[in-house]
Structure 1
Amino acid sequence: MKKIIAMLIVLVGFLAACTNQITTENSTGSAVLDRIYAKKKIVIGTTADYPPFEWHYINDGKDSVVGIDIDIANAIGEALGVEVEIREMEFNFLIAAMKSGKVDLVLAGITPTEERSKEVAFTNIYYDSHMVAVVKKTDAGKFTSLDSFNGANVGAQKGTSQEGIVKDTLTGATLTSQPKNPTLILALQQGKLDAVIMDNIAADEFVKANSDLTVASVEIPSEDA
């Protein structure tokens, strides 16, 4: 609980105080907060394909977006005394949506990078993870080193730091980018990809849900946060 509370303090302070990094020609951070209070609603952008942080859950025929980030979003709304609207879009559109004012805040497990930090402000990091390769169980023995990816077709979600990892580290592999992680996982299962790069937390969830998949025993270097 202490970690969640600390996160909320940072996020609420972030909305009120970030006047440079989230600046457009017509909007500053303080204006964003004013807008939230004026409409009595905070619009939060996400990509719901990233369990356990955000994903689609169907219960009694009703599809809803749930997860850790969604719980945080609802707690932010409660702290501010406003309604919460979750607006889903492809990952590579999230930052542009925030800069244009289509969303007020993004919660989508985004890794802070130097390039991204030139456009938007990040909160303190609220979880640590490392990158892994998800492969078919039958192929697990093939991928034991970075060199073993030479000639392989490797997937990564479009617009993520994983794309950069494939390009910069797995230089002998062919990169395939897709907007959604489930699309990449399906392509892996169909034999169209040999591996998918993602962080260990999301990878564990996909492996739990798909008995034919596993995490390869190879260390994938991560981009510096």
Structure 2
Amino acid sequence: MNPKKHETKSPRGLAASTSFFQVIVGALAGLLLSLPATSEPLRVGTSGDYAPFSVLVVSDGQNHFTGLAPSLARAFARDQAMELEFVPFRWGHLEKDLQAGAFDVAMSGVTVRPERSLIGRFSLPITTSGAVLLVPNTSPYKEVEDLDHNNLAIAVNAGGHLEKVTRSRFMQAQIRSLEKNENVIRALANGEVNAAVTDTREAISWRHNYPGLRAIGPFTRDRKAFLVDASQPELARKLDAWLLRAQADGQFDAILKKELNEKLDTSPVTGPLAALLAAIDERLALMPWIAEVKRASHMTIEAPAIETRVLAAAIDSVRSAEKRNPLSEQHTEAEVKNFYRALIEAAKAVQRQTLMKPRRDLHLVLPDLDEELRPALERISDRIAMLLVALPQNISPEQIETGVQTELISTQLPEKEKKDLAQSLIALTSPHPDEPTSKTEWPPRP
């Protein structure tokens, strides 16, 4: 018999597919959200200094956190019947505070970065942004490159993602990292620096509060997500299930529109496909470190025994996710293996690219393979398995191919590996015919 094929969907078919997806998401969310509510409050770390994600408002001596992250935290806690406690943090202390147990989850417009993947569990993305430079309208500088000179000063908030990308992008300019975020824009307004780094989201409020500024960029594309304590997998699963459900029933869209004045587009970042590709991208972003550890330890990229264990663990993770979501499409072992083989080959391609160049940042200590990198990969794999199960059938091949091209942004993944990943996902999301069919294993074995 022929392998399963895609069919062109009529509007009625599209509605049926959407309805089925909502049933699946509802079942997944219902199973996870029906767990007994804890008597302990949900402790949410938030900065209070990063509009529109987290803003601290003091009224009558009381602290009140507003913005996208606190609004989502309140909606999640309300659905979970949980008490909520906000814990302020400074960006330079985020990772240490989370590891020390100061809070259960950081919700504050946290950018997905590899070093954060090592110490926590990222949720599905909640939105995207990009780093930009703000300069006075009268500034002679027009392009990002114009600011990278040793006689120019750039202000940026200390300790977070923006400082890291600023120091990486501007090697010649004088970088002034300031502890309080509000001091960054004040330094620019007072003429103490030539430019200030923020992102496309925060730049809107800064330009509103300080007229006469314009933006240069963006020069990055970043994802924002919640960062959960690594030791709390159930909380991470609950959050992801809730985000999927909130996206499907419109609750997330309403909060996003209120806080960011925008609606979800036709490929929402919290949707299963885009979220799955984001998780794949997060996994691939760890591969340069894996490669450097192998270089330092004189290990080879090819590791057949480890790959066999990874495939077996992947099958177990997907089957566990299917048990938590019994209404989902049950994928065959061949389909799941084909996808994970493509994922493994993509990881090895990034490692090979890394080893083709001399190591940079020789002064930096590499993460430990067994204590940091592999546990991080396992945490990401848990989310990948959940999202594979949540994928609706009948996603068009064009949507998958476009998504692979636009969402795998953290590495220079070769086109062959992108194509192979796309084809494996197309095979996973093709509609099953009424009668059993023989599966063609992908990619074909030599």
Query: Pairwise mapping of residues 28-177 of structure 1 onto structure 2 (< 5 A)?
Result: 37-39=38-40, 41-57=41-57, 64-139=64-139, 141-151=140-150, 152-177=152-177
Note the C-alpha offset of 1:215: 1.4
SS in 1 for 2:122: coil
Q: What CA deviation, in whole Å up to 9, does each residue of 1:20-51 have, x standing for no partner?
A: xxxxxxxxxxxxx99x8242x11111111111
Contact map agreement 1:132 1:219 (CA 8 A) in 2? yes
Note the C-alpha offset of 1:167: 1.5
Contact map agreement 1:95 1:106 (CA 8 A) in 2? no
Consecutive unaligned residues of structure 1, counting only runs of 5 or more, are 1-5, 16-32
Query: Pairwise mapping of residues 22-33 of structure 1 onto structure 2 (< 5 A)?
Result: none
Q: Take 2:76 and 2:206, find their aligned partners in 1: how far apart are those partners?
A: 28
Contact map agreement 2:47 2:89 (CA 8 A) in 1? yes
SS in 2 for 1:70: helix
Contact map agreement 1:49 1:182 (CA 8 A) in 2? yes
Q: Which residue in 2 is equivalent to 1:220? A: 219
Give the direction of change, closer, same or farther, for the CA distance of 1:219–1:108 in structure 2 (3 Å limit): closer
Identify the range of structure 1 (89-98 vs 144-153) with the bigger mean alpha-carbon deviation.
144-153
Q: Percent identity?
A: 22
Q: Take 1:189 and 1:153, find their aligned partners in 2: how far apart are those partners?
A: 13
Q: Take 2:219 and 2:143, find their aligned partners in 1: how far apart are those partners?
A: 11
The answer as to 2:193 corresponding to 1:190 is no
Note the C-alpha offset of 1:212: 3.0
Q: Take 2:73 and 2:218, find their aligned partners in 1: how far apart are those partners?
A: 33
Consecutive unaligned residues of structure 2, counting only runs of 5 or more, are 1-24, 223-408, 411-446
Q: Take 1:210 and 1:153, find their aligned partners in 2: how far apart are those partners?
A: 19
Give the direction of change, closer, same or farther, for the CA distance of 1:136–1:93 in structure 2 (3 Å limit): same
Q: Take 2:218 and 2:72, find their aligned partners in 1: how far apart are those partners?
A: 31
Note the C-alpha offset of 1:93: 1.4
Q: Take 2:147 and 2:103, find their aligned partners in 1: how far apart are those partners?
A: 41
Contact map agreement 2:55 2:65 (CA 8 A) in 1? yes
Letter in 2 for 1:144: E
Q: Which has the higher strand share?
A: 1
Q: What CA deviation, in whole Å up to 9, does each residue of 1:132-161 have, x standing for no partner?
A: 10112222x324241433132112222222
Note the C-alpha offset of 1:201: 0.7
Q: Take 1:157 and 1:194, find their aligned partners in 2: how far apart are those partners?
A: 15
Q: Take 2:203 and 2:48, find their aligned partners in 1: how far apart are those partners?
A: 15
SS in 1 for 2:183: helix
Q: Take 1:77 and 1:193, find their aligned partners in 2: how far apart are those partners?
A: 42
Q: Take 1:49 and 1:61, find their aligned partners in 2: how far apart are those partners?
A: 18
Give the direction of change, closer, same or farther, for the CA distance of 1:123–1:45 in structure 2 (3 Å limit): same
Structure of greater Rg: 2
Give the direction of change, closer, same or farther, for the CA distance of 1:145–1:43 in structure 2 (3 Å limit): closer
Contact map agreement 2:153 2:173 (CA 8 A) in 1? yes
SS in 2 for 1:37: coil
Provide TM-score, normalisation by structure 2: 0.40
Letter in 2 for 1:122: F
Q: Take 1:115 and 1:58, find their aligned partners in 2: how far apart are those partners?
A: 33
Q: Which residue in 2 is equivalent to 1:211? A: 211
Q: Take 2:117 and 2:63, find their aligned partners in 1: how far apart are those partners?
A: 33
Note the C-alpha offset of 1:63: 5.1
Q: Which residue in 2 is equivalent to 1:30? A: none
Note the C-alpha offset of 1:110: 1.3
Note the C-alpha offset of 1:79: 2.0
Contact map agreement 1:56 1:65 (CA 8 A) in 2? yes
Aligned pairs, how many? 196
Note the C-alpha offset of 1:121: 1.0
Letter in 1 for 2:147: S
SS in 1 for 2:219: coil
